[in-house]
């Protein structure tokens, strides 16, 4: 019972392993972009009560193992993370 998370009405242990890659696996997540991506993912997860158990930002992919509250679906979480990070990175690092 020590690894379970609790809310007002339930006890849960929902974990998702999320992996996504860049288009054509181009190695564009490097340097400042990789650091900013990691920072954005942490901020989004914190604002949605998502606990990051493990994560890796590679040059062409991102792995996340997250513990999620029951009211947040996997598709909605990925939508939040990918949508917000993509939009903010494009605005900040536009050439």
Q: Is residue 1 part of a domain?
A: no
Q: What is the CATH number of the domain that holds 23?
A: 3.30.70.1290
Whether 95 has a pLDDT exceeding 70, the answer reads: no
Quote the mean pLDDT of the chain: 94
pLDDT for residue 13 is more than 60 = yes
Full domain range(s) for residue 35:
16-92
Helix, strand, or coil (residue 68): coil
How much is the average pLDDT of 11-28? Answer: 95
Q: Is 2 a residue whose pLDDT tops 80?
A: no
Q: Indicate the pTM of the whole model.
A: 0.90
**Taking a C-beta distance cutoff of 8 angstroms, is the pair 95, 60 a contact?**
no
Residue 78 lies in a domain: yes
Give a yes or no: residue 46 inside a domain: yes
Instruction: Specify if 9 maps to a domain.
Output: no
Q: How many domains does the chain have?
A: 1
Q: Which residues pair with 16 in a beta bridge?
A: 66
Task: Let me know if residue 56 belongs to a domain.
Answer: yes
Residue 1, pLDDT score: 55
Contacts of 75 (CB under 8 A, 6+ apart): none
What pLDDT band is residue 35 in, cutting at 50, 70 and 90?
very high
Question: How confident is the model over 39-67, as pLDDT tens digits?
Answer: 999 999 999 999 999 999 999 999 999 99
Domain assignment present for residue 3? The answer is no
């Amino acid at each position: 019972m020590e690894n379970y998370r609790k809310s007002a009405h339930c006890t849960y242990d929902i974990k998702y392993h999320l992996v996504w890659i860049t288009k054509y696996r181009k190695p564009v997540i490097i340097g400042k972009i990789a650091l900013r991506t990691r920072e954005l993912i942490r901020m989004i997860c914190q604002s949605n009560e998502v606990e990051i158990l493990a994560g890796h930002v590679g040059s062409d992919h991102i792995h996340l193992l997250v513990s999620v509250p029951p009211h947040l679906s996997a598709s909605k979480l990925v939508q939040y993370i990918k949508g917000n990070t993509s939009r903010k990175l494009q605005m900040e690092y536009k050439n």
